[in-house]
């Protein structure tokens, strides 16, 4: 059996913690960056047997990978196997000309830049460090360094946001001509400081989400972007490149991947594991040459089939049903078809445009 062709590395360090963020992050700790990269490389050594020698994609996510001390980041790159797509997540204010050139020289092929919004008062609400001009400057530095595959992240449903703000954000993002855009509904976890501070306004934003989503899709498809996944859009490339995010596509298509670093998830065949989130224990384990603590889940074929349907229906290409039929509820599927939300051709299953707007609710109806 060949190994996973997709590798994720989690670089958790950030300059500060944004109020809405629920990712595994560690603020500052510059003194630990070198030790963390050593530990990642040790973990790669221990788990490398799960990887196919010919990798398709590597994704360095965070946290803020570009906040990691540059010599350590470059050292990490130099020790990684080659891959066809190598994406690095970056925060705009960290992308100097030097960082852009170093990433390019080290082999990154794609940058995913967290813009979130171009409205200064909404950036304040999100507690972001970057200002709109930092995003523009970062894109220019990346272009100068030779990057021809840049993705921008936007979020919507920010406390205080209006539809006019969202339209202006979409205009500002499109003006930078990114190859790819990810546009996420802002998720605010109950019980967090952010949710306490913005509760009433978050409820008002929740009522507007459907309209925001429709505006995002309408604006981006009108500008020539392909709505290829619920929250993801890519340009049709004049050179014929497929500009979808190949690494994320692997998740949505149910392919195996290995994840390294604190909080990272791996799925290899019928096993899924998640590394514990604590930095100290992670470093201690790997320094001693041991695997980090992790939670293991065994995925039975039913769970895998349901996941394939849930994730596969997020894409604009029909899902090949094959052995997935037992995961489908024939009555629910017939109801969804009757309402014009899904199309079952026998061999393939797809959501209609209207079905894609309703997304998870339709999938829940279709699943057995």
Ligand X SMILES: C[S@@+](CC[C@H](N)C(=O)[O-])C[C@H]1O[C@@H](n2cnc3c(N)ncnc32)[C@H](O)[C@@H]1O
The answer to whether 112 contacts ligand SF4 (rule: CB under 6 A) is no
Our finding on whether 169 is near ligand X (CB under 6 A) is no
Looking at beta carbons only, is 14 or 321 nearer to ligand X? 14
Which of 6, 57, 62, 170 binds ligand SF4 (CB under 6 A)? It is: 62
Span from 58-66, 233-241, 245-253, 316-324 in contact with ligand SF4 (CB under 6 A): 58-66
Best CA proximity match to 35, nearest among 286, 294, 264: 286
251 HSE (CA, 13 A, CB side): 15
Kindly tell me which residue out of 187, 293, 297, 347 binds ligand X, with binding defined by CB under 6 A: 187
Name the residue nearer to ligand SF4 (CB basis): 122 or 309: 122
Answer positive or negative: Cα dihedral of 143, 124, 120, 161. Answer: positive
Q: Where are the beta strands (DSSP E) in the chain?
A: 6-11, 13-14, 26-27, 55-62, 83-90, 110-116, 150-156, 180-185, 225-229, 232-235, 258-260, 265-268, 271-275, 294-298, 319-320, 342-344, 348-351
| 355 forms part of the interface with ligand X (CB under 6 A) | no
184 binds ligand SF4 (CB under 6 A): no
Q: What token pair was written down for 345?
A: 């051709």
Q: Which of 233, 297, 238, 287 is nearest to 265 (CA)?
A: 297
Angle at 63 between CA 154 and CA 162, to 5 degrees: 25
- Choosing from 55, 108, 142, 155, the residue that interacts with ligand X (CB under 6 A) is 155
CA 358 to chain centroid: 21
- 288-327 binders of ligand SF4 (CB under 6 A): none
Give the residue at shortest CB distance from ligand SF4.
21
Site string for ligand SF4, 1-20 (x = CB under 6 A): -------------x--xx--
Of the two residues 205 and 267, which places its CB atom closer to ligand X in the complex? 205
Which spans in 109-192 are helix H? Answer: 120-126, 132-144, 163-175
User: How crowded is the C-beta side of 184, counted as CA atoms within 13 Å?
Assistant: 12
Choose the one of ligand SF4, ligand X, none that binds residue 186, judging by a C-beta under 5 to 8 angstroms depending on kind: ligand X
Taking the complex as a whole, the smallest distance from the CB of residue 92 to ligand X amounts, in Å, to 8
C-alpha separations of 93 from 67, 97, 367 in Å: 9, 11, 43
Residue pointed to by tokens 């205080």: 160
Q: What are the DSSP E strand ranges found in 276-320?
A: 294-298, 319-320
Binding of ligand X at residue 251 (CB under 6 A)?
no
Question: Binding mask 88-107 vs ligand SF4 (x if CB under 6 A, - otherwise)?
Answer: ---x----------------
| Least distance (Å) between residue 62 CB and ligand SF4 | 5
Neighbour-count burial of 285, counting CB atoms closer than 10 A to its CB (0-12 exposed, 13-18 middle, 19+ buried): buried
Choosing from 34, 184, 268, 350, the residue that interacts with ligand X (CB under 6 A) is 184
Task: For the segment 3-32, give every residue that binds ligand X (CB under 6 A).
Answer: 20-23
Q: Which residue has the tokens 């963020």?
A: 21
Q: Which does 61 bind (CB under 5 to 8 A by kind): ligand SF4, ligand X, none?
A: ligand X
Binding region for ligand X (CB under 6 A): 20-23, 61-62, 64, 89, 91, 114, 116, 153, 155, 184, 186-187
**Residues of the shown chain interacting with ligand SF4 in the complex, contacts defined by CB under 6 A:** 14, 17-18, 21, 23, 25, 62-64, 91, 114
């Amino acid at each position: 059996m060949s190994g996973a062709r997709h590798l994720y590395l989690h670089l958790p360090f950030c300059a500060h913690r944004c109020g809405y963020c629920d990712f595994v992050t560690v603020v500052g700790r510059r003194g630990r960056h070198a030790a963390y990269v050593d530990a990642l490389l040790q973990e790669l050594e221990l788990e490398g047997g799960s990887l196919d020698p010919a990798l398709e994609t590597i994704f360095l996510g965070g946290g803020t990978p570009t906040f990691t001390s540059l010599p350590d980041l470059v050292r990490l790159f130099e020790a990684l196997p080659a891959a066809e797509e190598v994406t690095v997540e970056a925060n705009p204010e960290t992308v100097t000309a030097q960082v852009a050139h170093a990433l390019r020289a080290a082999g990154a092929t794609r940058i995913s830049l967290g813009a979130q919004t171009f409205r200064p008062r909404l950036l304040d609400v999100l507690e972001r460090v970057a200002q709109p001009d930092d995003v523009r400057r970062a894109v220019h530095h990346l272009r100068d360094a030779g990057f021809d595959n840049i993705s921008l992240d936007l979020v919507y449903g920010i406390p205080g946001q209006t539809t006019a703000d969202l339209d202006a954000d979409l205009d500002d993002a499109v003006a930078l001509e990114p190859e790819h855009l990810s546009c996420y509904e802002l998720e605010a976890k109950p019980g967090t400081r952010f949710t306490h501070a913005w509760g009433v306004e978050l409820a008002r934003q929740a009522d507007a989400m459907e309209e925001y989503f429709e505006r995002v899709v309408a604006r981006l498809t009108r500008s020539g972007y392909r709505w290829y996944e619920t929250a993801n859009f890519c340009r049709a490339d004049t050179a014929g490149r497929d500009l979808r995010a190949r690494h994320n596509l692997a998740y949505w298509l149910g392919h195996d991947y290995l994840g390294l670093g604190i909080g990272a998830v791996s799925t290899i065949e019928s096993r899924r594991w998640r590394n514990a989130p604590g930095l100290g224990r992670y470093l201690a384990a790997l320094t001693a040459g041991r695997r980090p603590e992790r939670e293991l889940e065994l995925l039975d074929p039913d769970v895998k089939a349901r996941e394939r349907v849930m994730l596969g229906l997020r894409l604009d290409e029909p899902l090949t049903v094959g052995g997935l039929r037992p995961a489908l509820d024939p009555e629910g599927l017939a109801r969804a078809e009757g309402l014009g939300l899904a199309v079952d051709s026998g061999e393939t299953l797809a959501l209609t445009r209207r079905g894609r707007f309703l997304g998870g609710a339709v999938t829940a109806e279709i699943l057995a």
